[in-house]
Structure formats: C-alpha cells, structure tokens
Amino acid sequence: MPQITYIDSDGNKHEVELPLGATIMEGAVQNDIKGIIAECGGSCMCATCHCYISDEFLDKLPEMEEEEDEMLEGAVAPRTERSRLGCQVRINAALDGLIVEIPQEQ
Amino acid sequence: MGAPVDRIKFPTQDTQSMKKNVIIIGAGHAGIQAAASLREEGFGGSICIFSEDADFPYQKPPLSKGYLDGSQQKPSLMFRSEAWYEKNQVELRLGEVVHSVDTENQTLEADSGNYVFDTLIFATGAYNRTLPIPVTGQDEPLYLRSMKDADKLKQALDQAAVQDVLVIGGGFIGLEIAAYASKSGKQVTVVEYQPRLMQRVLPPLLSEHFAAKHQEYGVKLLTGTGVQSLHQEERWTATLSNGDTLEADKIVVGIGVLPGQALAQKAGIRCSNGIEVNEFCETSVKNIYAIGDCALHPNPFAKGQMVRLESVQNAVDQAKVIAASICGKPTAYHQVPWFWTHQYNLKLQMAGLSEGYDELIVRGDVAGEKFSVFYFHEHQLIAVDSINKPADHLQARKWIQAAHSPDRVKLADDTIKLREC
C-alpha cells in the first residue's frame, strides 16, 4: 500500500499507509488527521478538505475537474498551485511517498 | 479523631468526573460529530453512543446518491475508523434501543440495562413518513433511510427483470432514486402530490429545470397527483387520485420524514414538530440537549422562527454548539443553512432559506446548466441556489453568514465578477 505523509493543521507529521483507490480525504478522516473536515463526505460540495500537495507529485495527480477548480476558489485558506481537494484525489501506486499538508483553516 | 473517613461523604474527584458522563442517542452526523467535538474541546469525561442501527456509524446522504450508483463504497461512508473510537474513548452501543429516559434521576433504560447520565444528547434524527393509504400484497414498498434500506433498494432496482419503477414522492430522495433508476435503464414514473417537484424548497424555475432533466431521461412525471391505494398480485397496481391505474414491478416511497421525538416526548421533554430547543440546543429539561434532524430550533436565518432542518450542516454545526456549551463555552447556534442534491449532471447547492423571498435574480448560463438563483427579502440576500456553480455557492454562504447583500444591479450583470458585486 502506498505510504502517505500528512502534515496536520498543527504541523504534526503522520505517516500512514492507504489502500489503492482511497481518497486523500478518506485517508485523513480514517486516520484522525487534524484539519480535514470533509463536511459533505466527499461529494465535492463543501471545500473543507483543502490540502497542499508536495511539488514533486503535482504532475502525477489526476487532472482537476472544473468543479474542483471552482470549489478551490472558495476555499478558506489561500489557494496555491499545490492546492487540491482531498476528496477528488484517489491514491494510486505512483503516489507512494506523497506528502500532504493540511492548511490551518477550512 | 475517631470517625472513619468513609462516613463523611464529601464530594470527591470521582463524583466530579461523574458529572461529565455524556450519553448520546443516535449515531448519524449529529451524534458522531458531538462526540468528536467534545473530544476536540478537551472533554475528559465518558462518552457513550447508543444507536438502534447495528451498522458501524456511517453517513446517510450518499445512500441515495454515490452509494446507490456504486461510485461510493461502504468503507468510504464510515465517519471514523474503529481505532478512532478506541483512541478517543467513545463507546459505541450499536443495535441497541433506548426504551425510556428518566429525566429526574438522569437515567435511561436500554436493551442491556440502566445507565446514568449527567448530560444526555438526543441526536435521534428522523424516520420515514409512511404511506397513509391501503397497501395490500406480499411485499412492502421500498423506503430509504438506513444502509440496510439502501442495500435492499439497490438489490431490487438492479434486477434485470425489474422494468417499471414507480416512485411516490417528488422530493430530493424520490428524485435522486428516480435518477438512478432511469439511468440504469428502468422505466420510471414519479407521482408527486404537489403541483411541482421539490415545491417545498425550490422556486418554479428550478422545479421546471429538474422536471425537464428527468423527462429528458425518460422519466414520466405526474405532479398534482396522489396515490389512493397499492395492490400487489404478480406486479403492483397503483390507483391514482385521478382514477387512473399504473402498473409497476417496484414501488419506492420518499414522502418526507418525521422527527425522532417519541422517546423525548415520553420522558416529558417539550416536543411539537421536533424536540424543542433554544439557541443553545437545550431542551425544556436541564442537562438534556437535542441536535440535528430531530431538533426544532430558532434559526436566525429563518428570522428566528422555530424550524427543523434535515441536513448535514445543521447536524454538524449544532453538534459543535453543544460540545462548546458542555465544555463551558456556550455559543448560540448561528450558521447559515446549506443543503445539496445531485441528480444526473445537476448538482444543486442551496445556501440559506429562500422561503418568503420577494425578489429573485438569476445569474449565469441557464441553458448551459451553470447558474445561480439569488433570493432577496426586502433587498436583503436570504438564499442562493446554485446549479453546477460551486463557487457561487461558497460565496453565497459567506455573504449570508455575514448578512451582506450584493449590489442587485451588478449581480444581474454577468460580466461583473461575483465577488465584485
């Protein structure tokens, strides 16, 4: 299983293994990572699973749909080129070693 | 100094911590969030959750959407992992019914015995309204509330032999199910008693938009029509209020819900259309709270009127309110309501409560199915419904929360960016 490192909203590091096909958001919720709220449960409806992806993985991520793009515009923490919604990124083998940073606000 | 120490009954540290014994009834969004928020607030007492539903606590909204169409699997519906409950010392008593609550002695009686509480939280949700008409036959019509219902529904609708599906009720749940069934190739008829779809929450413009979409997928819509009886031989026959009959292989019913208040009512807690609470979600009885679908509360976004909201937002935010309150930081409930539904390619997000609007402004591309409807009451923005316009929705929530009203002339002009309105 790919290993993912979350840096939670308090700056603490958590290394976890996620099953293929799980989303970054689900991985955070299931592992009790602080800062991911995911109010809508992964329906791309609330922008409360905003996270920052480590640079070297940006081009390995699934492409962003228009909907996610729009939601990110409304996210509370500043949007950067590393911004994604955790519910829209599914873990695949190429994402082994991914580092996900959670902003302080959702 | 003769007297044995144990004869003097001073309050001890133990009784202090006993004061912090919280019992939650219900393991939906409200109940689970209450437990999570209590721990986040640093609550150190015991937390026990009773749930009639034997399934490990899961989210209900996807049951009529992603779970039904298979895009969301069971594990992704779970709120938290088993390890989380263990680590946070949240005891789950699943599949266990609470039979009565003694508010004076602060005890409750459940399947496994009596329990003492210092704080009790009703997060009992809602249950389905059932058809008030004669139903005869071997099977029951299908309803959707729990994961078990969803499994049964999916199994029924996925049978190749099932051709004709009759959905009774043109609200969110009925229409989400109709969308799934028609996309999977069934011939679907929706019967709705009101003159138009989702009438309680949507203006005619949006009802019509959804109606057209359902029709595009071959769904037959019978609005302003009731069902008088259902009878099953080989197939079901529905007798309609206009005298016509309809045949179907499966009947699905989504005609609204009623608040889960029987237990509270029996315990003498004030109830009407829900368990009555104040802005702190406190019921008429001390140390007893009600949150989520079951709570009839004063809502600042409904001009302070008593309302009951069936939504994730309401459940989650009220849970946070009581957690703060129990931890000594009382804050009144003041969060803009929001809801969503997903049918075909239409994602409808609703912010605020539009009831009582006196003006509406449509912005965006209606034909292209990317637009929002802004509702005003006396020039004040009260609600926004967005179709495939998530950025509008998020902006709307911020504005309504802050009681900000955009410039109505600018708003009607699509060339001006929304945040500059």
A67 at the B interface (CB within 8 A)?
Answer: yes
Beta-strand pair B380-387/B370-377: antiparallel
Higher per-residue pLDDT: B9 or A19: A19
- One of 3.30.390.30, 3.40.50.300, 3.40.50.12780, 3.90.1200.10 is the CATH number of B345-420, namely 3.30.390.30
- Whether residue A106 lies inside any domain: the answer is no
The pLDDT-based confidence of A41 (bands split at 50, 70, 90) is confident
B85-121 pLDDT tens trace: 999 999 999 999 999 999 999 999 999 999 999 999 9
Percent of all residues in chain B with a pLDDT value above 90, rounded to a whole number? 92
Q: Which residue(s) pair with B288 in the sheet?
A: B120
In chain B, residues with a C-beta closer than 8 Å to the C-beta of A47 are 390, 394
Of the partner residues A41, A45, A75, the one whose CB lies closest to the CB of residue B349? A45
pLDDT above 80: residue B408: yes
Percent of all residues in chain A with a pLDDT value above 90, rounded to a whole number? 63
CATH of the domain at A75: 3.10.20.30
Test B394 with A32 for CB contact under 8 angstroms: no
Q: What is the pLDDT of residue B1?
A: 37
Element (H, E) at B359: strand B359-365
DSSP state of B61: G
- Whether residue A67 lies inside any domain: the answer is yes
- Containing structural domain, residue A47: 3-101
Q: What is the pLDDT of residue A43?
A: 81
B283 at the A interface (CB within 8 A)?
Answer: no
Q: What is the ipTM of this complex?
A: 0.87
* Signed CA dihedral, A80, A104, B60, B213: sign only: negative
The pLDDT-based confidence of A37 (bands split at 50, 70, 90) is confident
Q: Do B18-127+258-326 and B130-255 show the same overall fold?
A: yes
Within 8 A by CB and 6+ apart from B233, the residues are B137
* Signed CA dihedral, B229, B230, B233, B235: sign only: positive
Edge-to-edge strand ranges of the sheet holding B21-25? B90-94, B46-51, B21-25, B119-122, B288-290
What is the rounded average pLDDT of the residues A37-56? 88
- Whether residue A28 lies inside any domain: the answer is yes
Q: What is the pLDDT of residue B110?
A: 97
pTM, 2 dp: 0.92
Are the CB atoms for B59 and B65 separated by under 8 Å? no
Rounded CA gap, B381 and B404, in Å? 7
Q: What is the pLDDT of residue A45?
A: 84
Rounded CA gap, B338 and B312, in Å? 8
Q: What is the pLDDT of residue A42?
A: 82
Q: State which residue of chain A sits closest to B345, comparing Cα positions.
A: A67
Rounded CA gap, A28 and A35, in Å? 9
User: Rounded to an integer, what is the distance from CA B292 to the centroid of its chain?
Assistant: 7
Taking alpha carbons only, the member of B107, B106, B87, B108 closest to residue B96 is B108
Are the CB atoms for B392 and B418 separated by under 8 Å? yes
The pLDDT-based confidence of B347 (bands split at 50, 70, 90) is very high
Assigned token pair, B104:
């004076």
Rounded CA gap, B33 and B79, in Å? 9
Domain ranges of chain B: 18-127+258-326, 130-255, 345-420
Test A40 with B340 for CB contact under 8 angstroms: yes
Rounded CA gap, B408 and A74, in Å? 21
Number of domains composing chain A:
1
Beta-strand pair B257-259/B126-128: antiparallel
Rounded CA gap, B205 and B361, in Å? 11
Element (H, E) at B174: helix B172-183
B304-341 pLDDT tens trace: 999 999 999 999 999 999 999 999 999 999 999 999 99
Q: State which residue of chain A sits closest to B313, comparing Cα positions.
A: A39
**Gyration radius of chain A over CA positions:** 12
Phi and psi, residue B386, nearest 5°: -120, 135
Q: What is the third-level CATH fold of B18-127+258-326? A: FAD/NAD(P)-binding domain (3.50.50)
Beta-strand pair B119-122/B288-290: parallel
Length of chain B measured in residues: 421
Taking alpha carbons only, the member of B198, B170, B181, B200 closest to residue B353 is B200
A44 at the B interface (CB within 8 A)?
Answer: yes
B87 at the A interface (CB within 8 A)?
Answer: yes
A30 at the B interface (CB within 8 A)?
Answer: yes
Rounded CA gap, B80 and B266, in Å? 32
- Whether residue A74 lies inside any domain: the answer is yes
B351-392 pLDDT tens trace: 999 999 999 999 999 999 999 999 999 999 999 999 999 999
Instruction: Name the CATH superfamily housing domain B130-255.
Output: FAD/NAD(P)-binding domain (3.50.50.60)
User: Rounded to an integer, what is the distance from CA B200 to the centroid of its chain?
Assistant: 15
